[in-house]
Every structure is written in C-alpha cells, then in structure tokens.
C-alpha cells in the first residue's frame, strides 16, 4: 500500500518551556488548570501544523490528567508529537514535566491526547500525510490511536458502538477470536 506523503512522527516533535509566574497561579500558588490547557493546546497545534503543513483547528481533547500540582516558579516543559493521522485529522500526544530547578526535582504532571483537523484557507478539512512511527513508543502510540479515535467518535455520537471494530477486539474472549 502506498502511503500518502508519509512523514516520520519525529518531524512533528514540538517542545514548549515556560516558567510559572504569579499571573499563572491560583490562590494556592499552583498553576491554574486553564492556563495549562491553553499552553497544551498551543504546543499540540504547532505539532499538528508541523506534520500537516496546514492550518489546524482543535477537534477534541481527551481526558487531561492533573496528577501533580505545578508550583509558582516551576519550569514547565510540554512535549507534543503527532501519533497518527487519519484523513484530515491527527492525534497528538502531550507529555508535561514540571521542574523545580533550585531543588533539582522533576515530576511528570500531565498527559493527554488532542485531536486536530487540518483545514484549507476556507476552513474546509483537507487530507494530511500519514505518520511513520519509528521508535517503540511511537509504534505503541500509533497502534492504540485507532481505538482511541473510535472511542472519541462513539462518545461524540458520530459512530455506533457496533462499528468500533478495534474496540470490540479488546473485549472479545481469546476463544472467540480464534474461531
């Protein structure tokens, strides 16, 4: 099968680094969740643009986990990479690390998947290149992307659960799948 202008996932890798300042924090001196989501949306959009060479719009945001608070003065590093492309949409994986530089402490704080759609100048969806996963992590993210996409579509009411072939495979018994 010929891949449409396929590009390695690594070409979309985007990193953003910011220091948490007083205007970014809540009354507990921790980074506000909305500010974090704003930063994540920007870095994910840049990764999607790098992959597609197109204008992109945010289509969905999966569950964003806030596992650790990020304190005033911490340095936040967000990395984003396109994990898989479909017709006009791209799934982007984000990983967030906060660092207290004076204390030499780093902690993983957030992970999420965002979906973007590439559009032309009129806002009409346009096809994007496929993704070539190269590393074991990229291959694992690529393999799971279709299941995550099907779940998103079911939750949005755009796919019937019976049509989610990849999700069904997760719930089939081993004996049933052998027949």
Residue 177 above 60 pLDDT?
no
Q: What is the CATH number of the domain that holds 68?
A: 3.10.129.10
- Does residue 175 fall inside a structural domain? no
- Does residue 144 fall inside a structural domain? no
- Tell me the two tokens of residue 123: 């806002």
Domain count for the chain = 1
DSSP letter string, 96-157: EEEEETTTTEEEEEEEEEEEEEEE-TTS-B---PPEE--SHHHHHHHHHHHHHHHHHHHHTT
Residues 6+ apart with CB under 8 A from 20: 31, 70, 71, 72, 73, 74, 75, 76, 98
- Does residue 45 fall inside a structural domain? yes
Name the one residue in this structure whose structure tokens are 């001196």: 29
- Does residue 156 fall inside a structural domain? no
- Does residue 147 fall inside a structural domain? no
Per-residue pLDDT tens digits for 96-121: 999 999 999 999 999 999 999 999 99
Per-residue pLDDT tens digits for 42-55: 999 999 999 999 99
Name the one residue in this structure whose structure tokens are 């891949």: 3
What integer pLDDT is reported at residue 10 of this predicted model? 97
- Does residue 119 fall inside a structural domain? yes
pTM above 0.85, yes or no: yes
Number of Cβ atoms within 10 Å of the Cβ of 20: 21
Find the domain containing 61 and state its range. 7-133
Residue 173 above 90 pLDDT?
no
- Does residue 35 fall inside a structural domain? yes
Q: How far apart are the first and last CA of the chain?
A: 28
- Does residue 161 fall inside a structural domain? no
């Amino acid at each position: 099968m010929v891949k449409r202008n396929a590009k390695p996932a690594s070409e979309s890798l985007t990193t953003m680094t910011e220091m948490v300042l007083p205007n970014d924090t809540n009354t507990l001196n921790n980074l506000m969740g909305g500010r974090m989501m704003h930063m994540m949306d920007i870095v994910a959009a840049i990764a999607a643009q790098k992959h597609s060479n197109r204008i992109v719009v945010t289509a969905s945001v999966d569950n964003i986990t806030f596992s650790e608070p990020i304190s005033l003065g911490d340095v936040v590093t967000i990395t984003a990479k396109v994990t898989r492309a479909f017709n006009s949409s791209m799934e982007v994986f984000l990983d967030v690390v906060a660092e207290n530089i004076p204390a030499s402490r780093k902690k993983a704080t957030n992970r999420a998947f965002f979906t973007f759609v590439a559009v032309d100048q009129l806002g009409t969806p346009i096809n994007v290149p496929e993704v070539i996963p190269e590393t074991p992590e990229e291959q694992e993210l690529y393999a799971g992307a279709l299941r995550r996409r099907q779940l998103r579509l079911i939750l949005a009411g755009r796919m019937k659960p019976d049509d989610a072939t990849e999700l069904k495979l997760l719930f089939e018994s081993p004996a049933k799948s052998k027949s």
